[in-house]
């Protein structure tokens, strides 16, 4: 490896599809798959390094998402979600040095699969339903926490927001704004933890041109897809994510 950036071809064979999946999830279409990005890259590098490399890429993706969905977001919901997401980031920062990221990922995987099992046993009705406020706060803070540790914040927040049955574009826009603030809130803590070094940044720049591709494809699909199919695909993405995270935690 070069001192300036990662040169290992195996790393890029994993990082390229990981970044594309992350971009796809940023559009809402394929939501859940973005949580696979760090576990995929972690087959070649450490989890903290994978998370650090993705930070500049996430910033670009978030800005693209904000521009694409700037008119559809749910302001009232965001006012509830963002503060609790920040609480989760604070907890993640305090505990980062003391927790194995694979067990955090495993916890996210178990939570995701339990949520999907609950949806299968008790399918949603035609009316929207909202979880209790305390549960929403807990799931949102958990999302901020797991996002800080391994960029795996999608499953916990989906467990809270998906039962609301928002219109696909409203759901997508709201998640885009939520994760923009969550990801922005990670920069200073990541710097304090020494994760944002020059080598990781240069590697990010090499992968950066891929950022718009997945977002662009996903945005085009999200604007045309039917709500029923949209949510089925979200659930499939969450199932694949939950299973992968759980397997990684068990296998170590």
User: What would the pLDDT profile of 43-95 be if each residue is shown by its tens digit?
Assistant: 788 878 888 999 999 898 888 878 877 778 899 999 999 999 999 999 999 98
Q: Calculate Rg over the CA atoms of the chain.
A: 17
Phi, psi of 184 (to 5 degrees): -65, -35
Lowest-pLDDT range of 18-22, 118-122, 124-128, 197-201: 124-128
Lowest-pLDDT range of 16-25, 120-129, 225-234: 120-129
In this predicted structure, the answer to whether residue 28 has a pLDDT above a threshold of 80 is no
d(CA 136, CA 61): 26
Q: What is the per-residue pLDDT for 78?
A: 95
d(CA 11, CA 22): 16
Cβ–Cβ under 8 Å, residues 34 and 155: no
Closest CA to 28 of 191, 214, 193, 160: 214
Closest CA to 161 of 109, 194, 191, 119: 119
Per the rule left: phi > 0, alpha: psi between -120 and 50, beta: everything else, 62 is alpha
Banded pLDDT at 126 (limits 50, 70, 90): very low
**Letter string b/e over residues 217-251, b meaning 16 or more CB atoms within 10 A of that residue's CB:** bbbebbeebeeeebbebbbebbbbbbebbbebbee
In this predicted structure, the answer to whether residue 188 has a pLDDT above a threshold of 90 is yes
Segments making up each domain of the chain, as ranges: 9-251
């Amino acid at each position: 490896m070069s001192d300036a950036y990662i040169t290992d071809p195996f790393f890029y064979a994993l990082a390229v599809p990981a970044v594309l999946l992350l971009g796809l999830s940023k559009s809402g279409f394929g939501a859940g798959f973005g949580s696979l990005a760090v576990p995929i890259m972690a087959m070649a590098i450490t989890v903290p390094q994978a998370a650090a490399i993705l930070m500049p890429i996430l910033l670009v993706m978030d800005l693209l998402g904000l521009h694409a969905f700037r008119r559809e977001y749910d302001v009232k919901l965001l006012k509830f979600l963002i503060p609790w997401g920040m609480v989760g980031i604070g907890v993640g920062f305090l505990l980062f040095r003391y927790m194995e990221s694979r067990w955090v990922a495993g916890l996210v995987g178990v939570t995701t699969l339990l949520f999907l099992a609950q949806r299968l046993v008790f399918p949603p009705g035609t009316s929207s339903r909202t979880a209790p406020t305390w549960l929403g706060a807990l799931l949102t803070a958990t999302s901020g926490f797991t996002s800080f540790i391994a960029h795996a914040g999608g499953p916990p927040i989906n467990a809270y927001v998906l039962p609301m049955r928002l219109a696909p574009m409203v759901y997508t826009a709201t998640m885009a704004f939520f994760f923009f603030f969550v990801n922005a809130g990670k920069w200073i803590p990541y710097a304090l933890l020494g994760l944002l070094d020059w080598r990781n940044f240069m590697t990010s720049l090499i992968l950066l041109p891929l950022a718009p591709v997945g977002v662009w494809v996903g945005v085009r699909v999200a604007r045309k897809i039917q709500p029923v199919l949209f949510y089925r695909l979200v659930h499939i993405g969450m199932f694949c994510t939950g299973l992968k995270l759980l397997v990684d935690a068990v296998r170590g």
